[in-house]
Amino acid sequence: MFILILIAVAGPFIPYVKEGIEGSRVLFPERGVIETAPFPPSPDFPTGSDREGRNLISVLVMGAKDTLVVIFCIAFIRYTFGIILGTVASFSGRFLTNLLNIWDQTFSSLPVIFFTILFLNLPFLIFLETRFWIVILSIALVEVGRVGVLIRDQLLQIKGTPYVEAGIVVGLTPIGLAKNYYLPNLLPTLIVNFFFDIGRVALIIGQLGIFSIFVTQEFVQLGSGWGEIRNTSFNWPTILGEARKDIYTAIWIPINAAVAIMFVVFTFNILGEGLRKYFHRLGA
> Per residue in 252-265, pLDDT tens?
999 999 999 999 99
pLDDT in tens, 27-64: 877 777 788 888 899 888 999 998 888 999 999 999 99
What's the longest Cα–Cα distance across the chain? 89
CA atoms within 13 A on the CB side of 50: 23
Judged on CB neighbours under 10 Å (0-12, 13-18, 19+), 95 is exposed
Distance CA 151, CA 91 (A): 12
Report the b/e string of 225-256 with b at 16+ CB within 10 A.
eeeeeebebbbbbbbbbbbeebeeebebbbbb
* Average pLDDT estimate for 8-13: 92
pLDDT at 113 over 60: yes
Q: Give 230's pLDDT tier (boundaries 50, 70, 90).
A: low
As a whole number, mean pLDDT of residues 154-165 equals 83
> 183 pLDDT band (50/70/90 cuts)?
confident
DSSP-assigned beta bridge partners for residue 221: 227
Residue range 117-126, pLDDT digits in tens: 777 777 767 6
SS3 22: coil
Predicted pLDDT at 185:
86
CB within 8 Å of 284: residues ≥ 6 apart: 184, 185, 187, 188
Q: Is 213's pLDDT higher than 90? A: no
Amino acid 218: pLDDT: 58
What pLDDT band is residue 220 in, cutting at 50, 70 and 90?
low
195, 268 contact by CB (below 8 A): yes
* Per-residue confidence band for 78, with pLDDT thresholds at 50, 70 and 90: very high
CA proximity to 207, closest of 245, 248, 261, 255: 261
What Å distances lie between residue 15 and 20, 51, 79, 114, 143, CA to CA?
Answer: 9, 22, 38, 41, 41
> Average model confidence (pLDDT) for the chain?
84
Tell which residue, 89, 145, 72, has the closest CA to residue 112. Answer: 145
Q: What are phi and psi of 41, to 5 degrees?
A: -55, 135
Assign 276 to helix, strand or coil: helix
The H or E element spanning position 228 is strand 226-231
pLDDT at 232 over 70: no
pLDDT value, residue 75 = 94
pLDDT grade for 225, boundaries at 50, 70 and 90: low
Partners of 214 in the beta sheet?
none
**How many C-beta atoms lie closer than 10 Å to residue 8's C-beta?**
18
Q: Which of 9-23, 135-149, 225-239 shows the lowest per-residue confidence on average (mean pLDDT)?
A: 225-239
